[in-house]
Amino acid sequence: MTLAFAAVLIFVLYLVDKHKLWRIAFKVALVLFLFGALLIGGACFWYGYYEPHQRAEQYAAEQREQRQAEQNHIVTMEDYSACLQLVQPGEDCLRIGTTYPAGFDPSRPFGTMARQR
């Protein structure tokens, strides 16, 4: 395979020399080199800047959603588990994913709310 590639390269160089096309061959080689450098630079930019930037934006969005969920007091599995441990037999806990009213403390037995005045 390497010998065949070398033979083709020698033949192409022979034709370039025979027809005095060195300037055109140099221009074509220069354009191909610049195009390759541009592709490599674009790939480095893509993997070095764009993807980490998108991951950072995605992480920030997840953090915003988590903070919003905490502000809305969304019942999580941990709250539900704590509620199950504290309730009396026959009482029911809130459903997972629902919001609970202001003043509800999941660490207190179910059905008791802080007094609001």
Q: What would the DSSP string read from start to end of 11-77?
A: HHHHHHHHTT-HHHHHHHHHHHHHHHHHHHHHHHHIIIIIHHHHHHHHHHHHHHHHHHHHHTTB--H
Q: How confident is the model at residue 117 (pLDDT cuts 50, 70, 90)?
A: very low
For the cut 60, the answer to whether the pLDDT of residue 112 exceeds it is no
Per the listing, tokens 């919001």 go with 99
Average pLDDT over residues 109-117: 52
The boundaries of the domain holding residue 50 are: 21-71
- Do 30 and 63 share a domain, yes or no? yes
73 burial class (0-12, 13-18, 19+ CB within 10 angstroms)? middle
- Do 65 and 79 share a domain, yes or no? no
Q: How many domains does the chain have?
A: 2
Cβ-based neighbour number of residue 80 at 10 Å = 17
pLDDT at residue 107 in the model: 65
- Do 82 and 61 share a domain, yes or no? no
**What's the CA gap between 9 and 7, in Å, rounded?**
5
- Do 90 and 56 share a domain, yes or no? no
Tokens coding 80: 């539900």
Choice among 49-58, 90-99, 102-111 with the minimum mean pLDDT:
90-99
